[in-house]
Amino acid sequence: MEKMNVSDQPSPIVMKATSKLSSRGQVVIPAEIRKTLGLTEGDDLTFIVNQDGEIKVEVTKKYRLSQLIGILKTNQPFRPVEEIRDEVYRTMGAKELKDGEEN
């Protein structure tokens, strides 16, 4: 996950947008703000309130595993998830059989 701290940006206002609080306490982040920060569904927002009542927001981006493929370099070929899952099930099954024989 990549954290982007909006409070690290310089103080002068770069963009300003308005939104209303719903009866359920929800706020819609205006599209221009979402686009500027690259916000997408599933991203975490942390709200920090200082003593002056100023609110700062930290954004933690969440990525799908499929988006991360290729980031780490390896000499090993990519194995399909199903193949890995089958291997894990076989290993777990063999361990359970061995544990049962020891008791």
Tokens coding 25: 């306490």
Query: Which domains are delineated in the chain?
Result: 19-63 (2.10.260.10), 64-100 (no CATH)
pLDDT digits (tens, 9 = 90+) for 7-58: 555 556 678 899 999 999 999 999 999 998 889 888 999 999 999 999 998 9
Q: What is the pTM of this model?
A: 0.47
Strand-pairing partners, residue 60, are: 3, 44
Position 74 scores a pLDDT of 76
Reported in sequence order, the residue ranges of the chain that DSSP labels E, i.e. its strands, are 2-5, 44-49, 55-61
